[in-house]
Structures are given as structure tokens and as C-alpha cells.
Chain A
Amino acid sequence: MSPFAFALIFASIALQVGGQVFFKLAMNQTHAGRTARYVPALAAGVAAMTLSIMLWIGLMSKFPLSQLYPYEGIERVMIVASAALFLREKMTPRLLLGVALICGGLILVTAS
């Protein structure tokens, strides 16, 4: 994989993480009963997600799906960390064990 391909993969991951955080922010607003409040966050989330998916489709046409999937492990850690940092979600030991197991599984899949 070329450095350019790595750059595209990490751009896709960063956009995915940002998009998920925006989605959660938007959906939290829907409980407040102020309909218009969630639109900007939702739009930002959709924009980030769309770019991320476009990049991902392009990457899939160049590399086997199984070779790209391991990078989702990094994405998983980043999303859970972002949820704790930016959304102030509670991190339980079980949740962290879940992340560790999933990432461990992804490492095994990559190495195979």
C-alpha cells in the first residue's frame, strides 16, 4: 500500500469518527423537542459520512475488502475515545473489554 493509500484510509477513518460524533450530538437534540436544533449537526454528520464512504468505495476497488477491514479497529478505539471525551459517555470496564476483544479479533483477522 502506498503512502497515498494510507492517507486516504486515515482520512476516511477520521471523517467516520467525526460523522458518528455529530450523529450522536444531533440525535441527543431530538429529545429536547427543539426540532431545528439537530439539523446542523445532522447535516455535518451526513457530509462527513458521505465523504468517508466515497473514499471507502474507491479504496475497495483497489484493495480486497479483508485487507481494508482491519483499519476499522483503529476507528473503533477512536470512536469510543471520542464518545468519552466529547460526549461525556460513561466508560464501563465491560465496554472497554468489548472494544479490546473486537480489536484483538480484528488483529487476528489482519494477521491471517
Chain B
Amino acid sequence: MTRRWFLHPHAQVFLSVLLSAASQVLFKKSAPMSADASPFGFAAMSSGWAWLAALATIGSLLAWLYALRFVPLGVAYNLSGALHVIVPLSCWIFLGEKIVAQRWLGIALVLAGVLVTAQSAAKIEETIEKEIEEKP
């Protein structure tokens, strides 16, 4: 499978999470906090960041759908918990939001949960690889 590692469902889950994190940060950039904003967020669509975020969302969705062909929803969704590690880190780096000690601990717990799931997912890896060989 090194030949087509990019098509591996777990790689696609990770790609989906990365794009989703990017879209969250971009949407946040496009929607600065205001008290009188519409609850449906249409106003944000005038911002270029929002459109870039929409593109990232579509890419994330396509990667996610591909992964769902092979990975059980429960497992895939647990793996997508990596979002809660990547998003706060991105907010810290790109949006200048602060992270206190307790929050770092929470992020570490989430990461542990993702790794525990990934380990169990690795066990069904062989089955997945066989399926991909049969249905590219």
C-alpha cells in the first residue's frame, strides 16, 4: 500500500481533519464577533476568507466520504477527534488565542483518545487494505 498511501482511509481521515481545522480558523477569521450578527451567518459570505473556508470544507467532506467507504463511522469519528488538538493549536498560532495549563491537559487527553482509537483501528487495517485492493 506504500504505492497509494494517499488513498489509505486513515490518510484521508487525517486530510479531512486538517482541511476541517483550516476551514474552522478561516470561518472564524471571516466572522468577527458581533452582538447583532444574523444567526445564520450569511453576512460572513462577503468575506474572501469565508469562500476559502468553504473550499476547505468541501475538500474535507470529500476526503471524509472516501474514508467512510472503508472505516466504521464510530472509528472514523473518534479519529476525527484530532480536530480538537489541531484547532486549539491553530487558534493559538494563527488567531492569537491563549491556552491555559488546564486546557493543554484537556488537549493531551483528547490526543490520547485519538491514539487509543488509532491503535484499535490499526488492527482492522489489514481488512481495509484488502478491500481497497478489490475496490480501488
Contact = CB atoms under 8 A, between A and B. Distances in A.
Interface of A: 8, 20-21, 23-24, 26-28, 30-31, 42, 49, 53-55, 57-66, 69, 72, 76, 79-80, 82-84, 87, 89-92, 94-95, 97-112
B87 interface: yes
B41 to A, nearest CB: 3
A64 B40 CA distance: 16
A87 B27 CA distance: 32
Contact of B106 (A24, A26, A99, A105): A105
Interface in B81-126: 81, 84, 87-88, 91, 97, 100-103, 105-114, 116-117, 119-120
Contacts of A84: 74
10 contacts: A58-B41, A61-B37, A65-B24, A69-B84, A76-B77, A87-B72, A91-B74, A95-B75, A105-B107, A105-B110
Contacts, number: 164
B73 A24 contact: yes
Nearest to A91: B74
A85 to B, nearest CB: 11
Interface string B23-41: 0100110011111011111
A30 B69 contact: yes
B64 A23 contact: yes
B128 interface: no
Contact of A105 (B40, B72, B100, B109): B109
B44 A108 contact: no
A95 B118 CA distance: 9
A97 B57 CA distance: 29
